[in-house]
Structures are given as C-alpha cells and as structure tokens.
Amino acid sequence: MKNSLIPSSEGTIVGIDQGVTPLRTPIPINYKEALAMREIALSMGSELPRYLLSPEINLLLSYLPDVRQQFFFRTLWNAGLRINESLALTRDAFCLDVPVPFVKVKTLKQRNRGPGARKKGDTGIRNVPLTDPQYIQAFKEYVASFSITRANQLLWDIGSDNTPRNWLNQAIRRAKSDGVTFTVEPITPHTFRHSFCMHLILSGVPLKLVQKYAGHARLESTEIYTQVFLLDAARHYPVNFSDF
C-alpha cells in the first residue's frame, strides 16, 4: 500500500507538562510525494501558507556564510518563531538540562502588554520543545563561541529585523548564482515558521499541539496547513459512483 501523506495522530507525544515517556519513532516523510502535493495545492490557487520542506531548508541554510546567520535561521526553523520573537531570545530562555529540552518564547504581543492587561491564566510565554539534538549542540557551541554568558544576554545583538531579512535575501542570491532556485516565492523569515508547522504536521504531531507550539490563538489558523492533504485523502477514501 502506498504511503499516505496524512499523518496519524496516534502514539505518544512528549510535552513540556507531561512526565517522561518513551518517544515514538518519527513518521517517515516521503519528500518526493510531499513536494508533488504542495505543487498541486499551489497550482489550484490554494491559500496554503508558503513553506519549504526539510531538504530545501537545509539547502538554503548552507548558503548562509557564518555560524551567527545560520544559527539565527536554524532557530526560526526548529522553534517556529516569528522574527521578533527570535530577536528577543536570551540565554536563559533555553531550558536544556531537563528530560525534554525547550525554549521559553515571549510573543511580541505579550511583551508589549502593560500591567494587568493579560487574561487570567495568561503567562505571556509559550514553551516550544527542542527535539533535535544537533540543534541543541549548535546552541551550546554558539553561546560559547560568542561569549554569551549572562542569563539575560540577547543571543543576537541586532538593531533591526531588516538585518536577518538581508541575510536571507543574500543567501537566496548566492543559491541562485549556483543555479539553485526554490519554487516557493517569496521566501522570507516567516517562511521558516510556516515550514516548522508543516514539518510537525507531516511528522504526525497532532494539530492541537502544533497550535500550542506555534502560539496560534485559534485552531483554524493551524488547520489551514492541512489543505495540502485534500487530494491525498481522496486516494484513501475512494467512492464509486457507478453501479458496474
């Protein structure tokens, strides 16, 4: 039977507030089929957010020239952050010496709220698991290389979000000079956030968890990513309209 792109929501997922439970084996992603389904969805005029698949992300990252730039965009990719959320990260936002490492993210909306403005029970922080050991090792190497020793020290001392946007545009131009192009346009820092959400869904993470990790206020904002599965679903729920 041909593998489906429709992820199963069954199995154990380890969350920040859960006890330590065995991690299940990640669902293998058929990237050739995932690419084909994305192209079909986009050609039909779907409102699907523009996202890249993991091999495309890793290829694009290779065109960033130094560790600083690469780690910035790896953070967007591994945690699904908005660009201003990433720029606000400090060293103590990363909790790594726990069974499930995670990063504490303050959204721009939450950071700008005044005293008493939050809803009851709203901490203004979301916890995003960091499940890639290579990323965690990259974090440790990054803070050591750039002497980020204070708990409240920013990871990137950047005055404007135009700086990482320029980094990305330059990387895309380098790729193009090598004959490497991407079918998804335009590619912006927010593309990494869309790619994070889609990668989780393709890997079988339930939509409610993706919603929490991305910080979507409504589940409908997360469900838009599932449009890519509409045609794939038809292969698994065949309906015969003939009597013969």
The residue annotated as part of the active site, out of 68, 91, 104, 190, is 190
Residue 50 among the catalytic residues? no
State the helix-helix crossing angle for 162-177 and 54-61, rounded to 10 degrees. 100
State yes or no: is 216 an active-site residue: yes
Using CA atoms in the order 81, 69, 158, 188, what is the torsion angle rounded to 10 degrees? -50
Question: Rounded to whole angstroms, what are the CA distances from 47 to 41, 204, 224?
Answer: 9, 22, 8
Judging by beta carbons within 10 Å of its beta carbon (0-12, 13-18, 19+), is residue 1 exposed, middle or buried?
exposed
Question: How long is the chain?
Answer: 244
Rounded CA separation 128/133 (Å): 14
Q: Is 236 known to be catalytic?
A: no
Q: How far, in Å, CA of 40 to CA of 15, rounded?
A: 34
- Which of these is catalytic: 193, 194, 199, 213? 193
Write down the catalytic residue from 24, 31, 109, 176. Answer: 109
Burial of 158 (0-12, 13-18, 19+ CB in 10 A): middle
Active-site position among 51, 142, 213, 225: 225
Q: What torsion, rounded to 10 degrees, do the Cα atoms 83, 6, 100, 84 define?
A: 10
C-alpha 33/C-alpha 162 separation (Å) is 35
Amino acid 20 reads V
Per the annotation, the verdict on 109 as an active-site residue is: yes
Residue numbers annotated as active site: 82, 109, 190, 193, 216, 225
